[in-house]
């Protein structure tokens, strides 16, 4: 079984998907973390967006492993590093590079092969698994998403500024929705869940009901 959860940054995809994965015994796959790994590796090696050949070399040698909620890049755990503001901002333009997306989609499909999975991202129901058994699109206002990101950063011991994060989220939405390759959009057959005024428990309950009713 494949459950596809799409939506913009801060809509609650990660938190909710992790809980449902454990609740329903599904393997959790965070595709955003995979793009963040590429961005982190590029930053570490000081590779710019224009250096296409160097980016391809990184992709040829990259190993990304997801173990529950832990993320490993070339054998090293980078779960916290990929959530920094610098990596967050850089991962969006990195994800617009066509051959990066092709490589990540290839890895995502390989990770899901023969398993019962719940995968979250921005193009899971439209590109990665257009025939997913269940498709859900999570959304929330940009203000609420910025508030959540500030709280998440504080929990992880990261400094953050609400106004800057709100600006970054609005800019990222614009990039993600208007990019030529796999733009962020709700699949025609996806069920929309607005999480703005819902608690995590309510969102989990709502999505769990949707999954149970569709399988």
Average confidence (pLDDT) over 136-158:
91
Average pLDDT, whole number, for the chain?
A: 93
Cβ neighbour number for residue 110 with a 10 Å cutoff: 8
**Burial (CB count within 10 angstroms: exposed 0-12, middle 13-18, buried 19+), residue 141:** middle
Q: For residue 165, give the nearest of 9, 33, 49, 23 by alpha carbon.
A: 9
Looking at the predicted structure, is the pLDDT value of residue 215 above 80? no
What pLDDT is stored for residue 97 in this prediction?
93
Over residues 29-44, the mean pLDDT reads 95
Q: What is the pTM of this model?
A: 0.84
Kindly report, residue by residue over 9-34, the tens digit of the pLDDT.
889 888 899 999 999 999 999 898 99
CA 88 – CA 103 distance, rounded (Å): 19
pLDDT of residue 190: 97
Of the candidates 213, 207, 198, 178, the one whose C-alpha atom is nearest the C-alpha of residue 4 is 207
């Amino acid at each position: 079984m494949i459950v596809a959860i799409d939506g913009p940054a801060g809509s609650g995809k990660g938190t909710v998907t992790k809980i449902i994965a454990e609740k329903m015994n599904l393997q959790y796959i965070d595709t955003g973390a995979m793009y963040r790994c590429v961005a982190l590796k590029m930053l570490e090696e000081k590779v710019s967006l224009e250096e296409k050949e160097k980016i391809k070399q990184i992709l040829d040698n990259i190993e990304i492993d997801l173990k529950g909620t832990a993320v490993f890049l070339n054998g090293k755990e980078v779960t916290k590093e990929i959530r920094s503001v610098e990596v967050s901002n850089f991962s969006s333009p990195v994800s617009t590079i066509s051959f990066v997306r092709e490589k990540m989609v290839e890895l995502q499909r390989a990770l899901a092969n023969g398993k019962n999975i719940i995968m979250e991202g921005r193009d899971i129901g439209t590109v990665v698994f257009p025939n997913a058994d269940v498709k859900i699109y999570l959304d929330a206002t940009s203000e609420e998403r910025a508030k959540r990101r500030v709280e998440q950063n504080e929990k992880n011991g990261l400094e953050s500024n609400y106004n800057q994060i709100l600006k970054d989220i609005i800019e990222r939405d614009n990039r993600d929705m208007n990019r030529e390759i796999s733009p962020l959009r709700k699949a025609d057959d996806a069920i929309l869940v607005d999480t703005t005024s819902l608690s995590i428990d309510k969102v989990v309950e709502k999505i769990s009901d949707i999954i149970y009713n569709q399988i």
